[in-house]
Chains A and B, each alone.
Chain A
């Protein structure tokens, strides 16, 4: 039982579990924070970004000036943005049997794994996870491919060169694992390997292991996973939420009785209260618009945006914003809004009830109908005709390095009337803004992360009581910026086992039992014997069949009697089969009854002598001696096989077989 840790990012995990004879990958998150080191990809020719000076080393060498550019006092890589992949060398990924996906944010590295490692297994995920995951990937590929970049920088990655670079490039880790974005054909190939599953569905893997997704409450179709055999249970908790937003509530009860609970995907902003952040979001938005400014909300095309639109739906009339247009710009905006309405079964109770009426579960349907919310695939085309200011724009990507958001940053950054509001917690907003500095526009940071915080975690752990907890090392110490906050870590007994990228953990549990089935005819043939009150036992001699990791005991076939051979066989052929096991014996032999039995069977000259530990029974004529002691019987006789066998059987009658 091992866990291979392929990602160091606690909310974008990628672990491989060796459980019994199966190799299971848990999530394959893609760390996109690496893109912050790259220059933004402008959709419209940007005079500012195209005329940046090349970076020159202290000693005056200019060999990097094509790859690295100086911008707003920082150095950026001028190249197609790259992402940091999970570790691929720690173990042979072609041996992975299955990949379990917990939510759509944690599957972004899937094409790299399924298309480049020789992976031949199956991926399991819920339907909303797959559909929305596809949209996220589509948006990603689209926004990068829309701005073709001729060059792909690699010189700076050389260890010797990287040493000379200024921070943060100097400190960037695993740069050799950074890769360009995949393509749509690769996305489609990867997604075709997914098998859809529903909550609480029991999926058998090779007869040895059963995996089950459970609702995790974080996003549409998001799941935690139970990986269990008959005797061991591992719970994988990834991206869970106890807040009531749109998804089905988290299933906590099913996590009980775990031997090991792997805990990932906690909130990235443990100090911020999501409800408070939403309130701040609304008031900042209203204030900016009232002052005639525009609001830019960099966001993913699915997830929190549904909740934000719902809040705004309730808020705009009271705030007097009913005439302000809301724009949602993404190549997948329409699909995302449509898909959100058809997953009734994955929604919280309130939303389900609406579908029963039948009404669309999310109120953004009404916002669209009343023209308050408009969606466009990009800033080009219809949008440029409809565009009215002041307005609110929701668009990606939250890293501010690619997607339509780059255009709006360039367009609105110079005016202090405008505001950019960060709601996605995945990127540091200061790093995201770095290449746009100096900015006149207001920047508001309202990260909304509904995942579990440490208080909720400790409550959860108390409730489900796992024997052991395993988590990323980040969760076992306070955040580096708040080292005094000792409440911001996982506190449990025994202490959580922590892991870091490229580490292999041995999980602490030991199996003692396995399931086996006894065929009905064999069961009928067993003779149970009550040994103690309430405890019976039966000796079983049976044939063991093992197939697909399932064990079955069958009645031994009746061996055909060997034909009596006419010729006497040579002695050596009669050598008995090796290891034909006899049962163990237990019990003791009462000497009086034994003697009576002997007499009954025709032994008339029985003599009994007492010894220190028991008795000696003498059969004088046969010159045979039987030593009876508490836990042993010794028959000493001449070579008279029939006599010996007879005595043996008489002794056995007094003993229990095991």
Chain B
């Protein structure tokens, strides 16, 4: 019996950040290393003291896996590897490896340069951290060491997002990271094969929402943008530079073209153009349609969307601006928001989830008077809209993934407790598997009961299969073998081979029974009678009458001799080995009953 430990320093019933520790068959793997965007102090990073109190991270962890480039999944990585200290391998996909350091640097700049915080990682630390990263292909089996292997599956969600299978021997865990099961305008749907892991660790951000159709949401979004622009208002869409932004850009670009609209669309900061470039170069990670047509037209070369300049925010007239970051917690999006918030003609559309404590979260929960830095009060008159464009799997999607992978246990993370409880019940009802939802810092232990693979000698296997299918399928076919256990190797061989390999001689156990029967005839005649009798009964056996007068039934030998004292009695010597025990025993009791009266 083996155990899968699952310890969540920061991904339990909380959408804030992901960081999970899994122990499987003695291997320790850390899944994601996210930071919490809602905190500005030490609480934003996971607490690694659970591990470090007993020694170094590098000694304890066999590897670290990052599912995608969102900061709530990789934001604490430089802190973890450079400040706490970890030198082992870190695995992520190529696009994640390309984009992750840029987002980290971006975030570092906002935190250190703008807010003036000091206890934070440096640019050099990000670089050093990325040197420890090993990029993986989709479906590539990466052998971390002799026993531990990992494999990435496509997860949708954002460019380069992946689910990971972690496997040691027969035991395996699948970690989904964030994923979505429906293709969108630029990415495909998550996919996994029927890998039957012992445990599936799934995010559950949208545990209960079964979202209305994508098309409706898109129409709604376009309608709102269009109406605001028509009445001369400005639309602010706070986004993260990579991900949703590209999907919404494609959406607006095609809408502008179709409706022949003239209002300018801007995309803020230099990162944007760069971001679109990543999409162009990693186009194999986007959905089928974009991939097929990219030679004729690269979807990420926009005609209507221009780079934003800070001065444009004060321009009169309608415009649409995509600005980073997505939760209005800092940077350009917050600056523009402050400028436009006072005008009720304007609109802010929040296209994704906002963490508690951010301005985004506050205005979405209905707060209209915000306290800004320097005790300024900002009154929000502009319209606030929330549109869920985040590419997370909804309850339906999570169920679908479980159906695909067929796990033996499910563990839900990265969601809100109440919603998770609902989903947990649903999963247990529908799939009859155990479902867990650990709190932060809680350890879940899951018992697995793996099969034991052994080597079987081909001779033995062939011997067994050569007997062929039994006429009666209900009768189980028994096979006999000897399992040799030497060091850590298990080999199943035939008993003969086992004896030979061990240098042991076979010990033959033989029985000879004297059976007395009344028969006055000559010995050879008695023999013949016995032969005919047995031949008549044992139709499935080979019964032979040998020239010397003895009889064989298979390998059992029967001889008729005269009784030394009584001429009317004959003694039948029945002789068999232990291997023929049943037949021998049967024969003696059969012969004891005597021979039939009539001579044939």
Residues of chain A at the chain B interface (Cβ within 8 Å): 127, 197-202, 212, 230-231, 334-335, 338-339, 341-345, 352, 355-356, 358, 360-361, 511-520, 523, 526, 528, 531-532, 534-544, 546, 551-553, 556-557, 571-572, 574-578, 580-588, 630-639, 641, 644-645, 648, 651-652, 655, 658
Could you name 12 residue pairs across A and B whose Cβ atoms are closer than 8 Å? A342-B294, A355-B94, A517-B451, A539-B480, A544-B465, A578-B540, A634-B510, A637-B514, A639-B515, A641-B588, A644-B511, A658-B482
Task: Tell yes or no: B414 within 8 A of A by CB.
Answer: no
What 3 A-B pairs have minimum CB-CB distances, sorted nearest first?
A658-B495, A517-B451, A584-B495
CA distance A630 to B508 in the complex (A): 10
A520 closest partner in B (C-beta): B449
The answer on a CB contact under 8 Å between B141 and A576 is: no
B592 adjacent to chain A (CB < 8 Å) = yes
Instruction: Report the bound CA distance from A538 to B481 in whole Å.
Output: 9
Evaluate contact between A514 and B588: CB separation under 8 angstroms. Answer: no
Cβ–Cβ contact B495 & A539, under 8 A: yes
Asked whether A583 and B480 contact (CB < 8 A) given A199-B140, A588-B507, A635-B510, the answer is: yes
CA distance A378 to B400 in the complex (A): 49
Q: Are A520 and B451 in contact (CB under 8 A)?
A: yes
Is the beta-carbon distance between A578 and B502 smaller than 8 angstroms? Answer: no
List residues of B (478-498) whose CB comes within 8 Å of A's CBs: 478-487, 491-492, 495-496, 498
Query: What residues of chain A lie closer than 8 Å to B294, measured between beta carbons?
Result: 338, 342
Residues of the B chain whose Cβ atoms lie less than 8 Å from the Cβ of A639:
513-516, 588, 592
Taking CB atoms and an 8 Å cut-off, the chain B residues in 508-553 that contact chain A are: 508-516, 537-538, 540-541
Distance in angstroms between the alpha carbons of A580 and B588 in the assembled complex: 18
Contact surface of B with A, Cβ cutoff 8 Å: 94, 97-98, 135, 137-142, 151, 170, 274, 277-278, 280-284, 294-295, 449-459, 461, 464-465, 476-487, 491-492, 495-496, 498-499, 502, 504-516, 537-538, 540-541, 578-583, 585-586, 588-590, 592-593
Whole-angstrom distance from the CB of B578 to the nearest CB of chain A? Answer: 6
A638 to B511, CA, bound (A): 10
- Pick from B451, B537, B580: contact of A518, CB below 8 A: B451
Contacts of B589 in A (CB 8 A): 641
When distances are taken between beta carbons in the complex, the residues of chain A under 8 Å from B492 are 516, 540, 553
Name the residue on A nearest B284 (C-beta). A342
Q: Which residue of B is nearest A361, CB measured? A: B281
Report chain B residues within 8 Å CB of A198.
Answer: 137-140
Q: Measured between C-beta atoms, what is the minimum distance from B271 to chain A in Å?
A: 11
CB neighbours (8 Å) of B496 from chain A are: 584
C-alpha spacing A201/B136, complex, angstroms: 11
- A355 to B98 alpha-carbon distance, docked (Å): 8
The 8 Å CB contact of B479, one of A536, A541, A644, A655, is A541
Cβ contact within 8 Å between B281 and A344:
yes
Partner of A584, one of B485, B516, B579, B588: B579
Interface of A is mostly: mixed
The interface residues of chain A lying within 8 Å CB-to-CB of B499 are 584, 586, 658
User: Which of A201, A358, A637 contacts B278, CB < 8 Å?
Assistant: A358
B343 CB, nearest partner CB in chain A, Å: 37
Given A198-B137, A575-B537, 12 other A-B contacts at CB below 8 A?
Answer: A198-B138, A345-B135, A516-B492, A520-B451, A540-B483, A541-B478, A575-B538, A584-B495, A587-B504, A631-B507, A633-B508, A658-B495
Closest B residue to A339 by beta carbon equals B295
Q: Which of A200, A335, A536, A586 contacts B137 (CB 8 A)?
A: A200
CB distance from A19 to the nearest CB of B (A): 15
From known contacts A515-B455, A631-B507, infer whether A543 and B541 are also in contact, taking CB-CB under 8 Å: no
Report whether B484 and A535 are in contact in the complex, using a CB–CB cutoff of 8 Å.
yes
CA distance A452 to B202 in the complex (A): 46
* Of B139, B482, B593, the contact of A540 (CB 8 Å cutoff): B482
**Given contacts A200-B141, A201-B140, A639-B516, are A582 and B481 in contact (CB under 8 A)?**
no
Nearest B residue (CB) for A248: B137
Q: Distance (Å) between the CB of A648 and the closest chain B CB?
A: 7
Assess the A631–B495 pair: CB atoms within 8 A.
no
A542 to B506 Cα, complex, angstroms: 23
Nearest CB in chain A to that of B1: its residue: A520
Q: A576-B582, A648-B509 are in contact. Are A358 and B538 (CB under 8 A)?
A: no
Closest-by-CB residue of A relative to B513 is A639
Q: Are A634 and B502 closer than 8 Å at their CB atoms?
A: no
A352 and B137 alpha carbons, distance in the complex (Å)? 13
